[in-house]
Chains A and B, each alone.
Chain A
């Protein structure tokens, strides 16, 4: 009775931010430096604007559809014969994308601390955590995301540690010089912003007001500020050439932190990033779950999740190395970006047709 409340704007913002902040965080400063050269961090601003435009499309769906679920809108106008394969495609992309994010996190951790342990054991443990969270439903996911947020958000304050070593001299007056493959780079950098598109599935669980939609922008803005802070510190801490060569500049940055009683904190801090990764994975898997559930509404949620996560786990055996996982993430990143823009546009089209139909009937 007292439980079935709508997800508040704050939690929507947290969910959006947590779904966005993922494994790309560790390579982002290198990517912007490598692909865009001097002052590459500036690229984050157009990425933010583009993602905000995408969020605007999502809010348009919300307004036109009056808060109805994506599935309800589609199924009103499109035949299920066409929709079900489409649903499967969407669910497949999200399922494997989420899975590869987890696999990459595990592989990096293995590289850091457990070179001799089979990474799939860690992957299984993380998948079990995700399963335990997913079976509790979106309300509990949003609550867990909030606790994870508070347990990980403080880490942004660690950037203050680098202020004494920060040099403005390392920023040149030249803008975006010395990059390469900028289209590929742009897509790769943009994939660091992905995750906000899943907020389109939150419509049935949020209050039907503007604040709910503003919260998605807020989550995206917070992420952008985090990214900007991090990349700025990296550009001021490393030289451009150093930054281009470092595989995981953020991990190297964390390795610099030392306290009198404890030093080389990077693997502990990297461990805390599990909170971010877990919610990113869970949100993609949740989207996959509710999409497949639309095809098989009678199947028990726990069984469905078990099946989906088992499939994802089996697929995660295929790429063995970090490089292979990166290729999967890049390719799936393209697909997820297309979905991020394509799905709202498709929904807007459907909604406009529905509206036109109602007007002509009237």
Chain B
């Protein structure tokens, strides 16, 4: 929805265009034959007084023209540009000899704070905020290179949200930048207010449960992605930054891995892949074993399990789904409520589920262990988006295991793999470096090798400059 084109660049026509905007201010200075039109909430008051009101109180009518010749006053020639300027938070100055725009805008912004969703123990703690200019400065401060290029687009018919695409010119494969640009230009929406929303418009397969672009709130992650040859998109008014292309395995690495000794980083990373396996298979395995394959349980454990299951009247699959749904409800309630109440919900829920459900004969002790381990393992995955996707697909695997035991479990895994094999991220394989097989990348995907060995950029980026700068001769 484009602003209508006012017929001419005059005060009447501009005011008519911005009719019924209660927050619009129109201020006249008859002695100077000048009018100001602006949205006061978008204007920095101190700057406004300093740059406009104070000079206006000092000067004569004949001097206005001279004052407006200063560089900060930009002369308008088109009525539409003037309207857009006012909407952007600039002050429009209507004078006999022309219309000028003065940028004294100061949108409300949150100060830079630590990220709450991507916490690290070591390393920098600052996170992106809603202001794109602050976010750009956070990146520029870390990458003081003339090769860091930024392209700007306006997305949203009504909102005209600024979307910035960042890349390092001499590292990136420009085909990736162009592919991202094409997708951004094709977005058809009224408004865009978040990076997470942006990904859903530009992902290769928007109907997949798996996130195909990595989103982050951390400038250090965005910068390392840029230095790895990836493209980053910043959406104004969103603290979530999009990094593309991404591979499935990228979602299992945390910036913490790089801020501590490589052996620790490697151990943690391997543990996360184990967590993935536990999340997807643990509860399903319980269902499969207790429904069809009792022979898999060692004799010593069989009695405990039989006792535990003795009072439960439902088939294991119902029991497991009930518990999994309860855990999801608890998690969702914990996420929506204020921190203090959230903790209470966790304790109450834990006791209710852990104690009362078993005593009431709704579930078995062993299932509680399986569901809890599976839930804890899912929270080990650093990316919330990926962790949520995996928790969702787990339900499918549990149901399949409930139908066909181990065969159902394996079929569920096969289905996930088939789906992953067909996914792409910005036209590149989603499961690289496993397929296409790039063993060179494994040392920074499955393990975190010492920095002396991390000499190449990820091959997924198809960069023409795969060798990192520091090792170039």
Contacts and interface: CB of A to CB of B under 8 A. Distances in A.
A358 to B, nearest CB: 36
B431 A267 contact: no
A1 B418 contact: no
A146 B411 CA distance: 17
A271 B415 contact: no
A2 B419 CA distance: 19
B424 A3 contact: yes
Interface string B407-444: 10111011101111110101111010011110000000
Interface residues of A, number: 43
Contact of A150 (B404, B414, B434): B434
Contact of A2 (B407, B421, B434, B462): B462
A8 B176 CA distance: 22
A151 B428 contact: no
B301 interface: yes
Interface stretch (A80-88, A89-97, A272-280, A335-343): A272-280
A271 B418 contact: no
Nearest to A278: B414
Nearest to A14: B437
A267 B293 contact: yes
Nearest to B424: A3
Given A136-B422, A144-B421, A146-B435, A2 B415 contact: no
B415 A132 contact: yes
Contacts of B173: 2
Interface string B164-179: 0000000001011001
A159 B409 CA distance: 24
B410 A133 contact: no
A114 B404 contact: yes
Contacts of A141: 421
A113 B428 contact: no
A133 B418 CA distance: 6
Contacts of B418: 129, 132-133, 136, 140, 144
Interface in A1-50: 1-3, 5, 8, 10-11
A142 B431 CA distance: 12
B292 interface: yes
Contact of B413 (A1, A151, A258): A151
Nearest to A142: B435
A140 B407 contact: no
Given A274-B410, A274-B414, A136 B427 contact: no
B406 interface: yes
B306 interface: no
A52 to B, nearest CB: 24
B398 to A, nearest CB: 16
Range for the number of chain B residues in contact with chain A: 35 or more
A265 interface: yes
Contacts of B176: 2
Contacts of A2: 173, 175-176, 179, 426-428, 462
A260 interface: yes
B298 A263 contact: yes
A262 interface: yes
B458 interface: no
Interface in A227-285: 258, 260-265, 267-268, 270-272, 274-275, 278
A109 B437 contact: no
A261 B410 contact: no
A323 to B, nearest CB: 22
Given A113-B406, A125-B411, A136-B422, A146 B296 contact: no
Q: Which of A2, A132, A133, A260 counts the most B-chain CB atoms under 10 A from its CB?
A: A2
Given A143-B421, A147-B420, A8 B437 contact: yes
A132 B173 CA distance: 32
Contacts of A140: 418, 421-422
Q: Which of B409, B427, B435, B436 counts the most A-chain CB atoms under 10 A from its CB?
A: B435
A272 to B, nearest CB: 6
B405 interface: yes
B421 A133 contact: yes
B427 A1 contact: yes
Contacts of A122: 404, 407
B297 interface: yes
Given A2-B173, A263-B295, 20 more contacts: A2-B426, A2-B462, A3-B428, A8-B437, A10-B437, A11-B435, A125-B404, A129-B415, A132-B419, A143-B421, A143-B436, A147-B420, A147-B421, A151-B417, A261-B298, A262-B298, A265-B296, A268-B296, A268-B410, A275-B410
20 contacts: A2-B179, A2-B426, A2-B428, A5-B436, A8-B436, A113-B293, A122-B404, A129-B411, A129-B414, A129-B418, A132-B415, A133-B421, A136-B422, A146-B434, A146-B437, A260-B298, A263-B295, A263-B297, A268-B409, A274-B414
